Copies of this chain bind each other. A is one copy, B any other.
Amino acid sequence: MSARPVLDQPVSSEEVRSRFAENLRRLRERSGVSQETLARMCDLHRTEVSLLERRLRSPRLDTLIILAEGLELASLAELVEGIG
């Protein structure tokens, strides 16, 4: 019943990476591009999308913005939905 669910249920770093990985994979597959293609479109290192989807890395904010642009999302919010 709290207005601050993030405080009631602190999210672990592992959980953040896991939830983000799910969002990224879902949105990338919706766009119909491979991990490598998305990385190239975004001018990221070719392994970056793979690392993120395998939950091995927590993305920096500038990478989030770049991915949102590459996936043609209306805003960053869609990429981090349900995470925090």
Contact = CB atoms under 8 A, between A and B. Distances in A.
A76 B19 CA distance: 14
Contacts of A27: none
A76 B83 contact: yes
B59 A60 contact: yes
Interface string A49-78: 000000000111111110011001111110
B64 A61 contact: yes
Contacts of A7: 69, 72
Contact of A75 (B68, B73, B84): B84
Contact of A65 (B4, B6, B77): B6
Contacts of A73: 4, 6
